[in-house]
């Protein structure tokens, strides 16, 4: 099994890929319909393709929602087989974002992410883009380094967290 330094080297060598991924992810406007947006369908399709490009089998769960053009809100899951297939450690992130609020409070377009001083600024970068990106790249690192985890690792990317509805 690769050592910690190998993992750190992988992370450092993947920095540009991670940055590009996050910039592309955040360009996909995914405002929750409760906030006046069209939902996260396009972001879900981006994530589904990204996971499949890693060689992972993705299961898609569509939840009917007449407020969005596609008629469904998409949820995704995938797992990486571990040594003990009876147990799965799940990581969850949500794909929708809240509206930007007053535009005058933004110094740039909130839906065009900006890289400044090694940080990414844009709507959804922290909530919850960082969780999508970090879990995706953790899974990619494990696959790329040939690590077979002790138990299955699961990722789930869900819609409709930013709601506030009962």
Q: Name the DSSP class of 31.
A: B
Query: How far out from the chain centre does Cα 130 lie?
Result: 7
- The C-alpha angle with vertex 47 and arms to 44 and 52, in degrees rounded to 5, equals 125
Q: Of residues 17, 62, 161, 162, which has the active-site annotation?
A: 161
Would you state the structure tokens that stand for residue 75, as one six-digit string?
A: 């949820």
* Active-site pick, 96, 100, 160, 162: 96
> Residue 85 and residue 151: Cα distance in Å, rounded?
6
Partnered with residue 120 across adjacent β-strands are: 115
- Closest of 63, 60, 82 to residue 157, by C-alpha: 60
Angle between the N-to-C axes of helices 41-53 and 15-27, in degrees from 0 to 180, rounded to the nearest 10: 150
100 an active-site residue? no
- Alpha-carbon distance 47 to 41, whole Å? 10
DSSP letters for 126-151: IIIIHHHHHHHHHHHHHHHTT---SE
The yes-or-no answer on residue 144 being catalytic is no
Task: Give the residue numbers marked as catalytic.
Answer: 96, 161
């Amino acid at each position: 099994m690769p050592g910690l330094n190998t993992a750190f080297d992988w992370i450092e060598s993947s920095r540009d890929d991670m940055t590009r991924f996050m910039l592309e992810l955040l360009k996909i406007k995914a405002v929750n319909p409760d906030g006046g947006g069209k939902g996260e369908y396009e972001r879900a399709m981006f994530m589904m393709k990204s996971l499949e490009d890693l060689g992972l089998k993705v299961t898609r769960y569509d939840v009917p929602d007449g407020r969005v053009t596609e008629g469904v809100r998409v949820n995704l899951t995938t797992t990486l087989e571990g040594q003990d297939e009876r147990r799965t450690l799940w990581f969850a992130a949500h794909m929708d974002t809240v509206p930007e609020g007053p535009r005058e409070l933004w110094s740039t377009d909130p839906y065009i992410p900006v890289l400044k001083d090694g940080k990414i600024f844009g709507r959804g970068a922290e909530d919850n883009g960082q969780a999508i990106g970090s879990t995706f790249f953790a899974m990619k690192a494990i696959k790329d380094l040939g690590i077979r985890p002790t138990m299955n690792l699961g990722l789930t990317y869900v819609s409709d967290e930013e709601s506030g509805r009962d």
